[in-house]
Structure 1
């Protein structure tokens, strides 16, 4: 344990963050709103192509507001990716909605449009309303938006894209998330760009974002005193946090470039080992490669957990692939369509250190441990 710790995906400051934070302090806009937040939202619109963006406390808050404003209510069903992080789908439960999980396909590891069609038919056959479809852009790779939208549109089902992991990725030339009725993004400390914590809600519907902004500020009505006709939330992003985001936006292109280089390095260095393969990249876009994910099969001779423990013994952090939501105890009785692919990826997958500040020496340390344990 004498070697320095190599983390899975630590924050990486690009160099201008402190300048923007200093501006916020000098202007005394330390409260939730301020010019840095407005600028961050504007720059995120420019990045994603959406007309309107709203900075919030987290990606989970963004999903909660999106589902509420799209009319998801008690008794509705939200169909979502099963291979995801719980923050993507827990907001549906806040609204009293039910969940229905859909498996991924092997080509992209994202929501399978064929299974989505089956799920919609199953839910409607049970006499229930599909309130929204929520695909996750897994590990920075976009789902097949066009194919998913083709399932949703005939039934007028809103599409909310969980692009929390996919800032900087593209789908058919457009930024991740663009093409949904709404998209959500995360700036958690482990994401490709971070504001220490925070998220963004994006849409081309001005009224939608205006209402989300109002709800995110405790739904205060227009009056000199505090007047409330509905329940809102304390979900707004801090101006100081947004200032960090501005600096991260400057660094984003370099981060994406570096993460893609790291993924390619791992594939070149480790791809020849027996039973080892890596997450494929979909032909329709360019992933940001937020995390490099390696799969091992029985011919490798070791399990992902044995690799994880070997790395940890050398002070290197790694992590299993997301445990599918339909395997989580809290969702043990939740309906699903498919599940075998995501279960297999969870059983065979391991996320390797992928921070954009990793050096060549760091990567070699990781690779050598894996080579040793596989041998």
Structure 2
């Protein structure tokens, strides 16, 4: 009879910890301020935290006025209205953007003109803006009209992609020359600077977002900032249902229920106190990726000489001809390893609602979207987890390129 005992079963390995793309970090006065708000009983769209959040955002950006809204899209919709955009106008906007940037234009009944990106820094290409206005438009009575459609061109909406500033000085100069308003979509760029000035302080009106995946968050929320008192007052009026008499409920035009509530403002104020630290961490994360995952075929998004980016999402161009793997394949394989990555948005001209929109395209946005991947960029991302992301990515690329060479 055998005296050898059976070996005990090997315990199953625990799955690797999930590394999210971008999650909020709540480590300041969030609980304290929200508790104060709840204790006060002022939990709706009026309260001291709304006022403080607006005042501190304006102070941080370096402008005179700020108006808090329920989200970034409502901020952009309102900003376009106060900039004078009307139904059947045309508005130039980046094609490489999240769809909300363009939807806000359509909410008004205006029409987007989609502008492609510049190849090096991926932002709206000012050269294409100028070529559209000079070659496809005509000036009459101090206004600009699209020769083909006959519509008035009213504004430009540059979007600061990935928290990197657009060449806003050039776009601003073009806009001034043609009598157009500039409405910046800076949803990802609070904390960024261009030529030494904070993003938000350059144009007629600028919008930020405080969605849960942004550098700082109020859970949901947006902000309109401007130096124009008339614009600020109009924005505040429109976002509170265009109330002319709060006692008698007099409304002389259509308004919107867009005001941020006091509870969310309390959270946003606490996050704003940490903004510079959050941006610093994001930039450190981007730097580590550039150092730890630099190999042929991976090109990390670069900061332009005159810009200070928030590095909202660290993003790389994956060249499949060199790496042997496409961005789509790499995303799927990293997901199998419990690492969340994300491709950039599909350009607006490839989305069905805007496939027939007027556009000035060079193919840059298409190439960026097809080949780019955003990597985990939470401010809570540990260096250990980031090394795991880099090591796993290198291993996957090595395995894929090796198998394709063997084939």
Which interval holds the TM-score relative to the shorter structure? over 0.9
Q: Which residue of 2 aligns with 1:50?
A: 63
Q: Distance in 2 between matches of 1:10 and 1:87?
A: 21
Distance 1:302 1:223 in 2: 60
12-21 or 32-41, which deviates more: 12-21
**Structure-2-length-normalised TM-score:** 0.90
The Cα of 1:223 is off from its aligned counterpart by 5.3
d(CA) in 2 for partners of 1:214, 1:143:
30
What is the distance in 2 between the residues matched to 1:246 and 1:263?
Answer: 26
Instruction: Quote the residue 1:300 is aligned against.
Output: 323
Q: What residue number does 2:3 align with?
A: none
Instruction: Kindly indicate whether the alpha-carbon contact (under 8 Å) linking 2:330 and 2:396 is maintained by their aligned counterparts in 1.
Output: yes
Q: Secondary structure at the match of 2:154?
A: strand
CA distance in 2, matches of 1:355, 1:223: 43
Return 5+ residue gaps in structure 2 as ranges. 1-13, 138-145, 399-407
List structure 1 runs of 4+ shifted beyond 2 angstroms.
Answer: 123-128
Which region of structure 1 is more displaced relative to structure 2, 235-244 or 18-27?
18-27
Q: Secondary structure at the match of 2:243?
A: coil
In the alignment, the residues of structure 2 paired with residue 249 and residue 69 of structure 1 have an alpha-carbon distance, to the nearest angstrom, of 26
Please say if 1:198 is aligned against 2:221.
Answer: yes
Specify every segment of 5 or more residues in structure 1 that has no aligned partner in the other structure, as ranges: none
Change (3 A) 1:223 1:17: closer
1:228, distance to aligned residue in structure 2 (A):
1.3
What TM-score results when the alignment is normalised by the length of structure 1? 0.98
Q: Structure 1 stretch 125-134 or stretch 100-109: which is displaced more?
A: 125-134
Shift in Å, 1:222: 2.1
Alignment map for 1:110-125 (pairs within 5 Å): 110-121=123-134, 122-123=136-137, 124-125=146-147
Alignment size in residue pairs: 374
* Counterpart position of 2:180: 157
Which stretch has the larger CA shift, 234-243 or 326-335? 326-335
Query: Mapping of 1:259-338 within 5 angstroms?
Result: 259-271=282-294, 273-297=295-319, 298-338=321-361
- Asked whether the equivalents of residues 102 and 339 of structure 1 are also in contact (C-alpha less than 8 Å), the reply is no
Query: Aligned equivalents of 1:261 and 1:133: distance in 2?
Result: 32
- What is the aligned-residue RMSD (CA, Å)? 1.1
Verify the 8 A CA contact 1:100 1:119 in the aligned structure 2. no
Distance in structure 2 (CA, Å) of the matches to 1:224 and 1:196:
31
320-329 vs 136-145, which moves further:
320-329
- CA contact 1:308–1:350 (8 Å) conserved in 2: yes
Deviations 1:268-319 (A, max 9, x none): 1111x22110111011111010000011111111000111011100111110
Listed as ranges, the matches of 1:1-375 within 5 Å are 2-121=15-134, 122-123=136-137, 124-126=146-148, 127-222=150-245, 224-271=247-294, 273-297=295-319, 298-375=321-398
Larger Rg: 2
